[in-house]
Chains A and B, each alone.
Chain A
Amino acid sequence: MSTDTVDRPGEIHARPVRHPGRWVALVIIAILVAMLISSFITNPKWDWGFAFQIMQQKPVINGLWKGTILGTIGAMILGIVLGVILAVMRLSENPVLRGVSFAYTWFFRAMPRYVLLAFMGGAIALLYREFDIGVPFGQQIAGALGLSTDLTFWSFSWNDISSTIWVGILGLGLSEAAYMAEIARAGILSVDKGQGEAAQALGMSPGQAMRRIILPQAMRVIVPPTGNETIAMVKDTSLFIAASIITELYFQAYGFGQRSFKIVPGFMAAVMWYLIVCSILMVGQSYLERYFGRGFGAQAPTKRERKVKDLLSRTGDH
């Protein structure tokens, strides 16, 4: 071999592959978008100015916060907590718990949310006016023993909460739990069996191992579909009207348009709020994914890790 490098191939300056298809697609899309925008501007029925006004109306904002957003948060919290419990039950060794979890999931996955909300809004008040929290069969027992109390500690009337956001949260949350249970179960099963064994070998109880070791790792699998569920939930709050819950974005925005005989801006006001809320959620989801993916790829230390480093340097000089 010679040490002469003159004839040896040097750096590559190649021509890139051409993509004429991309340019054609760009032109077609550009034309379609231009047509759409022009229609937005020239067709007065869109009436964007009025749509923006509707977006800022007090009842609409109220519906957004106290209906759509509160309803989403409440239903998702209920759905996630109950869903994880159902998933753990489904994976437990106790056949009763497994059966209950299975039956729950079966029932609520088969129930359309609209029907469920309509049932809760309409039928429950007919069936049970009062809910008593107390000793089971307390009234019968008290009657048999001749007691003056009926062993009830707390009671409320369904009418007090019907048509409120609480019925909406309860209905959507119960339904969501069935889906979250499946998602959480897949997440738990995705964690290596050795993790639970290592935790138990260190003396953790099965519950501790689940909470401290398995669930945090399952979150990596659970978070992305939960983000999708949350975004879907934002939209499902528009079903609240089935339970006569009127403090809600779509009902308020559409109603405002209807009363002004301008239905289209009413729609568009709701659409734009949904787009804004869902966009914010998508950004939040990507942050969550990064947080629960820690340890599964190189990244900068989190705030907590910097705190630990602090602690370490302080405990160093004892």
Chain B
Amino acid sequence: MADMPLVHAVNVTKSFGDNQVLKGIDMDVHKGEVVCFLGPSGSGKTTFLRCINQLETINGGRIWVDGELMGYADKGGVLHRLHDKEIARQRREIGMVFQRFNLFPHKTVLDNIIEAPVQVKGEKKAEVTVRAKELLERVGLADKPLAYPGQLSGGQQQRVAIARALAMRPKLMLFDEPTSALDPELVGEVLTVMRELAKEGMTMIVVTHEMAFARDVADRVVFMDGGVVVEQGDPKQVINNPQHERTQTFLRRMQSEHEQAVAAVADPLGLTQDS
């Protein structure tokens, strides 16, 4: 077990009713690795992330995180579903950042961050408060502990959400399109925090449409489509020279969308050449 990857997923399947969303995913993520998931909408990226921390129950296959089988106890080859409390314990080690932030709106920024360490791990409030302040400094929000989430911009909220997840000292961080709900000018501040985190050696699985981030930060890029992993490998290799046709189509479309977006911003300023 010593050389088992931090995340070891084997033949994971997941259906919603008749709709099979994950069709046998194999995925290893090693300690300290940053893996970016790309793929069209509806391909099952979010579902796979949610399966890793048991927000969804898988129908087939196995997922181990840090050597521990997620969601089940294996008793002589027979799987027994774990009790809610046990699943909650397994989740403590896994931080998750949501597309829509999901900060607790009735709690201040500070209370958002210290809530889980105090309530779940039973840590001392004063100690966690010190750590929360350090985390807020790290994400550039040292001046906001008493603000309510509703008083912050989207970018600030997402940075608080990252700090909140980090306060549990997770071994693994899951990011589900962390910048997709943000205005374009706020994307950078969140990606900067994530870059720092990657540099510090955090193991990260990131679902994103930010190609530059994937290319520069990821150790590996995974392309998903229709519930299967179509292709994966070195980021530059996959993004600049995709082998599979579906990957090529997706990346071409991303490229043209990106150019349109740039043009839409540039045109009113009269920056395009041919006018």
Question: What 0/1 readout, one digit per residue, does chain B (144-162) give for beta carbons within 8 Å of chain A?
Answer: 0110111100000000000
Task: Indicate if the CB atoms of B133 and A316 lie closer than 8 Å.
Answer: yes
- Across the interface, B55 reaches (CB within 8 A) one of A201, A204, A294, A296, namely A201
Task: Indicate if the CB atoms of B88 and A295 lie closer than 8 Å.
Answer: no
Inside 8 A of B103's CB, which chain A residues have their CB?
A: 198
Interface stretch (choices B27-35, B105-113, B222-230, B236-244): B105-113
Question: What residue in chain A is nearest B54 (Cβ atoms)?
Answer: A200
Inside 8 A of B84's CB, which chain A residues have their CB?
A: 205-206
A interface, over-half SS: helix
Task: Indicate if the CB atoms of A213 and B104 lie closer than 8 Å.
Answer: yes
- Across the interface, B110 reaches (CB within 8 A) one of A202, A206, A295, A312, namely A312
Task: Indicate if the CB atoms of A315 and B146 lie closer than 8 Å.
Answer: no
Chain B residues engaging chain A, CB cutoff 8 angstroms: 53, 55, 84-85, 88-89, 91-92, 94-96, 98, 100, 102-108, 110-111, 115-116, 119-121, 126, 129-130, 133, 145-146, 148-151, 164-165, 168
Rounded to whole angstroms, the CA-CA distance of A204 and B118 in the bound complex is: 11
Inside 8 A of A312's CB, which chain B residues have their CB?
A: 110, 129, 133, 145-146
Task: Indicate if the CB atoms of B108 and A305 lie closer than 8 Å.
Answer: yes
Inside 8 A of B102's CB, which chain A residues have their CB?
A: 192, 194-195, 197-198
Rounded to whole angstroms, the CA-CA distance of A312 and B147 in the bound complex is: 13
Rounded to whole angstroms, the CA-CA distance of A216 and B55 in the bound complex is: 22
Task: Indicate if the CB atoms of B130 and A202 lie closer than 8 Å.
Answer: no
**Contacts A201-B96, A301-B146; A308 near B115 (Cβ below 8 A):** no
Interface residues on A, range: 20 to 34
Inside 8 A of A309's CB, which chain B residues have their CB?
A: 146
Task: Indicate if the CB atoms of B119 and A204 lie closer than 8 Å.
Answer: yes
Rounded to whole angstroms, the CA-CA distance of A301 and B151 in the bound complex is: 13
Report the minimum CB–CB distance from B254 to chain A (whole Å).
26
Task: Indicate if the CB atoms of A202 and B150 lie closer than 8 Å.
Answer: no
- Across the interface, A204 reaches (CB within 8 A) one of B111, B120, B126, B164, namely B120
Task: Indicate if the CB atoms of A297 and B115 lie closer than 8 Å.
Answer: no
Task: Indicate if the CB atoms of A205 and B85 lie closer than 8 Å.
Answer: yes
**Contacts A200-B88, A203-B120, A315-B126; A194 near B98 (Cβ below 8 A):** yes
Chain A residues engaging chain B, CB cutoff 8 angstroms: 192, 194-195, 197-206, 208, 212-213, 216-217, 220, 292, 294-298, 301, 305, 308-309, 311-312, 315-316, 318
With A206-B84, A316-B133 given, name 13 new contacts (CB 8 A): A195-B104, A198-B102, A198-B104, A202-B91, A202-B115, A203-B89, A208-B120, A295-B106, A295-B148, A309-B146, A312-B110, A312-B129, A318-B130
**Contacts A197-B98, A217-B105, A308-B108; A202 near B55 (Cβ below 8 A):** no
Task: Indicate if the CB atoms of A295 and B126 lie closer than 8 Å.
Answer: no
**Contacts A203-B168, A309-B146; A197 near B106 (Cβ below 8 A):** no
Rounded to whole angstroms, the CA-CA distance of A201 and B89 in the bound complex is: 10
- Across the interface, A205 reaches (CB within 8 A) one of B88, B129, B168, namely B88
Inside 8 A of A305's CB, which chain B residues have their CB?
A: 108, 146
Inside 8 A of B104's CB, which chain A residues have their CB?
A: 195, 198-199, 213, 217
Please give me the 3 A-B residue pairs with the lowest Cβ-Cβ distance, nearest first. Answer: A203-B92, A198-B102, A202-B116
Rounded to whole angstroms, the CA-CA distance of A44 and B259 in the bound complex is: 88
- Across the interface, A315 reaches (CB within 8 A) one of B55, B119, B130, B164, namely B130
Rounded to whole angstroms, the CA-CA distance of A192 and B111 in the bound complex is: 19
Rounded to whole angstroms, the CA-CA distance of A194 and B46 in the bound complex is: 14
Task: Indicate if the CB atoms of A202 and B106 lie closer than 8 Å.
Answer: no
Rounded to whole angstroms, the CA-CA distance of A49 and B107 in the bound complex is: 52
Task: Indicate if the CB atoms of B165 and A297 lie closer than 8 Å.
Answer: no
Task: Indicate if the CB atoms of B120 and A201 lie closer than 8 Å.
Answer: no
Which of A198, A308, A312: most chain B CB closer than 10 A? A198
Inside 8 A of B108's CB, which chain A residues have their CB?
A: 295, 305, 308
Task: Indicate if the CB atoms of B150 and A296 lie closer than 8 Å.
Answer: yes
